Structure 1
Amino acid sequence: MVTRTRNVEAQPKLHQRSYEIQQFGQLHAVPLGLPENAIKENVELLNKLVLDSIMLYNMYKKHHWHMAGPTFYQLHLLLDKHAEQILETIDLLAERVQMLGGVAAGMPHDVVENTRIERPPKGEEAVPAMIARLVDAHATIIKALREAIETTEKNKDYGTNDLLVSDVLRMHEMQVWFLSQHLVDTPLIGEETNK
């Protein structure tokens, strides 16, 4: 028989709520040697990239589940690998927001309300359309990344700048290359043409 005592220190304190100790959009001071206005600007652009990246991650997973046709296996695995790489960059971007003293965005309603990426339909599309949609989403993020890289350079936030160039931009460029090659109109099995 289990007996319960009143004051068990190991008892979890469930259903806790708190006031916000830092509101979204506020910064807490971190001694990084950067002006507050530069940090605020960089946190905002990083949060936009987080939200767009979450949208892209979810598109990858949806399209990964809906792959079909002769290249099903290869594309199913490729899209899953790309999704995992996107997920890693989401974490890097959100952690950078926190390092700068900001509050990282990331709730589903934040994504829906603020993403710059076009929403895919709820239903299933043809494989080339899904791949093209992913390439378009990458293009949107790459454009925002290039602008963010210029801004962080101007703001002398070299840590954020290095993250964006080395870890995020290069990964997106690689993924666009891999995906766009699947949109080249070539036969799957060697059809030789005699000219």
Structure 2
Amino acid sequence: MSTQKHVLQEAGTVEENSLRLERGKAEQIVEALNADLASTYVLYHQLKKHHWNVEGAEFRDLHVFLGEAADHAEEAADELAERLQALGGTPVSNPVNIAETAPVEFEGDDVYDVRTSLEHDLAIFGDNIESLREHVELAADLGDHATAEILREVLVQVEEDAHHVEHYLEDDTLVTPEAAEK
């Protein structure tokens, strides 16, 4: 570990940016992006957990889908972090700070049946969708159209992945506990 003590920028601060967005507006957007970044990381880790633990008749399809959805979340997190850094902010990166900043909660370390796991994923997808929509509007209202566009692109992928989860949860897929008892 480095013994260097020179801090270039303190976490949680917003400096002037070369994008010519005034600091007060940048601070609001950075705060919103950090919340989205933290939520995206919570979703990423939960999707990876389910990717590793999925079992059952549709194992292969779900394993692949959950891996791809986790990759999408990781890509989104990178986009969000890079944008908030360009705005003069510091991306939330410490696992404790991510958990504290995220408006969503990780389901925990217990392993659930696949239907319950997907329901938990869908809940986070839904919360993230609502937050992204609000933050698209915030960025646009503050005149940061580039951030609004980045958030729209992230939103499209999050909505698509959520829609796939909805399909997996339809009654004609994934044996339900009631059906298994018959």
1:89 to 72, 76, 80: 76
1:102-181 correspondence to structure 2 within 5 Å: 102-166=89-153, 168-181=154-167
Q: Distance in 2 between matches of 1:158 and 1:51?
A: 22
Task: Render the CA deviation track for 1:17-39: whole Å, top value 9, x for unaligned.
Answer: 31422112222222323221111
Distance 1:132 1:24, change over 3 A: same
Q: Percent identity?
A: 28
Report the alpha carbon displacement of residue 118 of structure 1 after superposing the two structures with TM.
2.5
- Larger fraction in helix: 2
**TM-score normalized with structure 1 length:** 0.85
Q: Distance in 1 between matches of 2:101 and 2:14?
A: 20
RMSD value, Cα? 1.6
Q: Distance in 2 between matches of 1:76 and 1:187?
A: 15
**TM-score normalized with structure 2 length:** 0.91
Name the SS for the 1:77 alignment partner.
Answer: helix
Distance 1:71 1:18, change over 3 A: same
Task: Render the CA deviation track for 1:120-158: whole Å, top value 9, x for unaligned.
Answer: 132110110000111100111111101101100110101
**Equivalent pair of 1:34/1:157 in contact (CA under 8 Å):** yes
**Equivalent pair of 1:61/1:83 in contact (CA under 8 Å):** yes
Q: Distance in 2 between matches of 1:25 and 1:187?
A: 45
Query: Aligned pair 1:56/2:80, yes or no?
Result: no
Query: Residue 12 of structure 2 aligns with which residue?
Result: 25
Structure 1: 5+ residue stretches without partners: 1-13, 190-195
The number of residues matched between the two structures is: 175
Name the SS for the 1:117 alignment partner.
Answer: coil
